[in-house]
Amino acid sequence: MFTFNGGSANATAVDAATTALLGNIALGGQPEFAVADGRGKVFVNIEDRSEVVELDPRELHGAAALVDRAGRGASGLAIDRVHHRLFSVCGNRTMVISDAERGKVLATVPIGGGVDGVVYDPRRGLAISSNGEARSRW
């Protein structure tokens, strides 16, 4: 089990069965959402650096960042495990779609403001961002 710690810019690994502390992983920035690919990798958005970092949960270390500089202020993160796609939603009204295996940005699409989360629906093949942008009254 992992906790992602914005204040200390790291992740903490805990054994879920015994609650023993297994270690910390330095992330180099403030983590937001994380996803697991089901094949042994964990990915986490680093909000203040506009990056996605790949973690190796077995070895308790972070790999090189998958840079997605097209988005600023990355918060929500979702994954398509079949096609190895990451969906990062960002404060600059952008969803960045990356290849999780190659670390390449595949596309950027516009989204609304006030974004926080994103989900991927594998049955429909859709990534959906939640946006809380306030609408002005006329």
Q: What is the CATH number of the domain that holds 95?
A: 2.130.10.10
Integer Cα distance of 64 and 5 in angstroms: 19
Higher pLDDT, 45 or 135: 45
Domain assignment present for residue 123? The answer is: yes
- At 24-34, the pLDDT tens digits run 999 889 999 99
Q: How many angstroms separate the Cα of 95 from the Cα of each of 26, 57, 73, 74, 77?
A: 26, 26, 11, 9, 10
Q: With respect to residue 6, please indicate whether it lies within any of the assigned structural domains.
A: yes
Domain membership flag for residue 138: no
Closest CA to 34 of 55, 17, 20: 55
Q: What is the mean pLDDT of residues 91-99?
A: 92
Please give the Cα distance from 130 to 27 (Å, whole number).
Answer: 25
Q: Per the structure, how many domains does the chain have?
A: 1
Residue 136 lies in a domain: no
Supply the range of the domain harboring residue 92: 2-131
Whether 137 maps to a domain, the answer reads no
Q: The tokens 């202020």 sit on which residue?
A: 73
- Phi, psi of 126, deg, nearest 5: -120, 140
Q: Is residue 41 part of a domain?
A: yes
Q: Is residue 93 part of a domain?
A: yes
C-alpha to C-alpha distance for 37 and 8, rounded to whole angstroms: 25
Are residues 45 and 86 in contact, defined by beta-carbon separation less than 8 angstroms? no
| pLDDT for the residue numbered 137 | 45
pLDDT digits (tens, 9 = 90+) for 35-82: 999 998 999 999 988 889 898 888 887 766 666 666 788 889 999 999
Cβ contacts of 56 within 8 Å, gap of 6 or more:
40, 41, 62, 63
Residue 134: pLDDT over 70: no
